[in-house]
């Protein structure tokens, strides 16, 4: 394994990609995103993978992509919002510096509520957000060395808070 990575976890739409790229720039290191790895490898969007093969198949692809990135990458890595559902992935994250970017449900609905590209929010965004947050908050917390709240903060402010927390 390479040196510990800075790994960003947290719900979709919280700003992992934007903050990840900013963090990498500030640290003079490389940025990588496991959702992008999956799309590049599959030649399909995440939404298409969900529709074609279902969530379980996507999770298997995601697990492989995350484990590969953790082994190969050197720098800042953003994980898809559901990557922490996998127990082996959570165990692997123990070797890295994990930052949980958090937001409250209303902020989440504001940011992503109408975004049909996100398959998990297609039906009733507010209810689905509440359920997702309840199911996952403790998983994000369990792997995180630092929690950075993003509500009402710009990506630059979140990036600075993450740097301060690390
Ligand atoms: C998901 C989050 C998405 C993507 C997929 C499932 C989730 O990634 O992996 O739509 O389960 O929370 P982002 O968090 O990068 O949007």
Supply the DSSP symbol for 80.
P
ipTM of the complex: 0.97
Residue 139 lies in a domain: yes
Which percentage of the chain shows pLDDT scores above 90? Answer: 80
26 annotated ligand-binding residue:
no
Q: What is the domain count for the chain?
A: 1
User: Domain limits at 61?
Assistant: 6-163
Helix (DSSP H) and strand (DSSP E) numbers for the chain = 8, 5
What residues contact residue 13 under an 8 Å CB cut-off, 6+ apart?
103, 108, 111, 112, 115, 118
Closest CA to 20 of 108, 137, 148: 148
Residue 1 lies in a domain: no
Q: Which of 32, 118, 119, 125 to mutate to test ligand 1, by most ligand atoms within 8 A of the CB atom?
A: 118
113 annotated ligand-binding residue:
no
Provide the CATH number for the domain around residue 71. Answer: 3.40.50.300
pTM of the shown model: 0.93
pLDDT (tens digit, 9 = 90+) per residue, 69-126? 999 999 999 999 999 999 999 999 998 999 999 999 988 888 876 665 676 776 677 8
């Amino acid at each position: 394994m390479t040196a510990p990575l800075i790994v960003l976890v947290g719900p979709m739409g919280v700003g992992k990609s934007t903050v990840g790229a900013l963090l990498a720039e500030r640290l003079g290191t490389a940025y990588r995103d496991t959702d992008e790895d999956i799309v590049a490898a599959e030649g399909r969007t995440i939404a298409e993978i969900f529709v074609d093969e279902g969530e379980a198949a996507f999770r298997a692809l995601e697990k492989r992509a995350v484990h590969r990135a953790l082994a190969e990458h050197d720098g800042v890595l953003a994980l898809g919002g559901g990557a922490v559902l996998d127990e082996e992935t959570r165990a692997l994250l123990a070797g890295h510096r994990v930052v949980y970017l958090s937001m409250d449900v209303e902020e989440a609905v504001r940011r992503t509520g109408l975004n049909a590209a996100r398959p998990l929010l297609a039906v009733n965004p507010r209810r689905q957000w509440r359920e997702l947050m309840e199911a996952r908050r403790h998983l994000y917390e369990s792997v995180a060395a630092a929690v950075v709240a993003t509500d009402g903060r710009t990506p630059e402010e979140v990036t600075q808070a993450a740097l301060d927390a690390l």
